[in-house]
Structure 1
């Protein structure tokens, strides 16, 4: 049976962020993930994790000015120093939180930057981050994101990600496979997961259309969960969806699996 982690950036948003840890535990989750921890003291988040017996599954590297629409800076040639400082900051937080993997959002390619220059910058940044994180005992993951929700996002298909990882050449870089994003970009979910199974370290979900909970759209999640079980997936599945109504009212899909 899959292990589900609540994405606190999208679930339980009816309460303040630090109160979402208890809300997730009360709803039956044993793990949590979210975009960023950096607006809070790491020790305070760690206390919420410990108080609620939760595992910190994942958070992202710093990704630029999120409020201004930035979605990562790994493909920005002029911001390599900022990216590297963000790696150090992520290691500091992840170490305190007991988080064993962090995600790199590669970002939206600036119009002034060529495809070749952006690609070279991403390779160098991922290589740097994978090495630094490996020294800290933390896995680096990166995810393709659909270009409907985030136009211009640099990394947007599975095969592109795998080729990029091969070029980076690190054994500390794996794929974060987001079912929702990949349904939009390429479909063919089960065969793709099987083909690249050994490269996948983390899975995220939402249904399509709407990015709501499983069972509200076109994706056959019971089949995919069974498929992941057959393949021997032992990682977490992050529930990164927008509840169609209120979070707890939309958890029937998960409770029905038990």
Structure 2
């Protein structure tokens, strides 16, 4: 399991190109960029090549009216289709193979069943387009404290949507931080959704700062993923307490855990 630097949060205060340079110097081979839509896709691709970084994840655009995503919003199907197309264009230029589809926050008075039907319909159409492009779509449960009202906040809710969509191009983005913020047990929650996991992220549940891989819950989840055969990326989506580079010492514990992944 390889670590990817989330360049939307790490190395704050630096322009994107300098964040890329810093991540490369710090030994990261992959990068997440949540909303890379201020740059032309080809320009972004050139920057990534220059710094020898692989773009491993982007989010769909969230919507021009301040939405937190569009995929579950009835009446906004065309807007979601356009947002997906922008993300696919980034993937085509950069060879990124993962898009987190932002479901959104249903507006006041929205009927939950209508939002669910809209999301499933949008995902079935989007999955065909993604598969043709060699891209996997992911859905992520976001905790209610950080993103109140988001369409789902538990991984099992996301798993239900994925299973209903029933397409190989749609999988689960499992974020240890959001799971712990909801007070859920990492081990049992992961057990329930493990076959669906396509991407992983983590941060410390206290303040969303540097992760603590040595904590028993996190260490157990990482071993569970590795022993199950997950060999994808683990996104470092956290807010640095101070200097990002100076505080990467937690990676020693991360690698030590994976080097002994068969240890119970």
- Matched with 2:53 is 54
Cα distance in 2 for partners of 1:38, 1:238 equals 19
Residue number among 154, 179, 182 corresponding to 1:182 in the alignment: 179
Contact 1:207/1:213 (<8 A) preserved: yes
1:55 CA displacement: 1.0
- 1:190 to 1:76, Cα distance in 2 relative to 1, 3 A: same
**CA shift digits 1:129-188 (9 cap, x unpaired):** 111111111111111100111110002111111111121121110000011101122522
- Matched with 1:93 is 90
- Matched with 2:109 is 112
* 2:138 is the counterpart of 1:141: yes
Cα distance in 2 for partners of 1:23, 1:146 equals 30
- 1:123 to 1:257, Cα distance in 2 relative to 1, 3 A: closer
- Matched with 1:203 is 200
- 1:51 to 1:255, Cα distance in 2 relative to 1, 3 A: farther
SS of the equivalent of 1:244 reads coil
- Matched with 2:10 is 11
Cα distance in 1 for partners of 2:217, 2:241 equals 18
Structure 2 residue runs of 5 or longer lacking an equivalent are 256-264
* 2:171 is the counterpart of 1:160: no
- Matched with 1:225 is 222
- 1:86 to 1:167, Cα distance in 2 relative to 1, 3 A: same
* 2:69 is the counterpart of 1:72: yes
- Matched with 2:123 is 126
- 1:221 to 1:249, Cα distance in 2 relative to 1, 3 A: farther
Cα distance in 2 for partners of 1:101, 1:194 equals 23
Cα distance in 2 for partners of 1:190, 1:103 equals 23
- Matched with 2:260 is none
**CA shift digits 1:17-59 (9 cap, x unpaired):** 2221111111111100021111101122111211121111000
- Runs of 4+ residues deviating >4 angstroms: 216-219
Structure 1 residue runs of 5 or longer lacking an equivalent are none
Cα distance in 1 for partners of 2:60, 2:96 equals 12
SS of the equivalent of 1:78 reads coil
SS of the equivalent of 1:248 reads coil
Cα distance in 2 for partners of 1:175, 1:215 equals 22
Cα distance in 2 for partners of 1:115, 1:156 equals 14
* 2:230 is the counterpart of 1:215: no
- Matched with 2:22 is 23
TM-score (ref. length: structure 2): 0.91
Contact 1:176/1:201 (<8 A) preserved: yes
Cα distance in 2 for partners of 1:182, 1:210 equals 14
**CA shift digits 1:39-90 (9 cap, x unpaired):** 101122111211121111000111113xx64210112112110100111121
**CA shift digits 1:182-216 (9 cap, x unpaired):** 11225221232233222000000011121111139
- Matched with 2:240 is 243
How many residues are aligned here? 255
1:219 CA displacement: 6.7
Residue number among 147, 152, 163 corresponding to 1:150 in the alignment: 147
Cα distance in 1 for partners of 2:92, 2:170 equals 18
